[in-house]
Structure 1
Amino acid sequence: MPPFLSLSLRVQPHPCFRKLFMSTLTKEQRKESLAPLLSSGWSMVTNRDAIIKKYQFQDFNEAFGFMSRVALKADKMDHHPEWFNVYNRVEVTLSTHDCQGLSAKDVELATFCDGVAK
């Protein structure tokens, strides 16, 4: 393979391009994607296109382990939660800043959080 071709295959798109392709969930996507999350304890944030959930664990170690696993996933997704932790409680808020609202990334990360918390 010519060197210029192999180099071009390794180039990642600039983060600004991701913003162009990121969009909020449509009305249909919200019905389909958010319903399972809302029935599992997530709720809509008042005055903002975001979802929130409060988790409670046995102790700080378990809460921190949850946060660590979510942090690794979030970093791979380039999608970082807003969260708050006190001892055994973790509050997670998700919204996609690139599109100013809920996106498929939020649904994916919320589903991951629920899986890790079980």
Structure 2
Amino acid sequence: MAELLSDERIDEALAHLPRWERNGNAIQRTAELANFPQAIQVVNRIAEIAENENHHPDIDIRWRKLTFRLSTHSDGGITEKDVQLAGEIDGVIDAM
């Protein structure tokens, strides 16, 4: 089991992830891509990363708008796994 992050650590992490915000016991980000195929490319790449790390985000797909929600469900809140995956998601989106 991973250790839940303190409120202070979450705030610190979000200072380095400016496109993410806290939403209850999760962090989330919405990104708008150029078109639907590009949005699906992003989802597919993130799915590969998530599968390799065995840590999967909740993803809401609305045409070209994607919302990612990260929480370590097995631990009941936000862990370093979520912060790490958020950074990787940012990298994939920025690369598009």
TM-score by length of 2: 0.90
Q: Does 1:29 align with 2:30?
A: no
What residue is the counterpart of 1:11 in the other structure?
none
Give secondary structure in 1 for the equivalent of 2:16: helix
Aligned residues with identical type, % of pairs: 32
- Shift >3 Å, 4+ stretches: none
Matches within 5 A, 1:25-104: 25-37=5-17, 39=18, 41-45=19-23, 48-104=24-80
Larger relative contact order (Cα-Cα within 8 Å, sequence gap ≥ 6):
2
Structure 2 residue ranges without an equivalent (≥5)? none
Query: In the comparison of the two structures, how many residue pairs are matched?
Result: 94
- Most deviating of 23-32 and 71-80: 23-32
- Select the structure of larger CA radius of gyration: 1
RMSD over equivalenced CA pairs, Å = 1.2
Superposition deviation, residue 86 in structure 1: 1.5
More strand by share: 2
Cα drift, residue 99 of structure 1: 1.1
Matched, 1:109 2:85: yes
TM-score computed with the length of structure 1 as normaliser: 0.74
AA paired with 1:91? T
The CA deviation at 1:34 is 2.3
Runs of 5+ unmatched residues, structure 1: 1-18
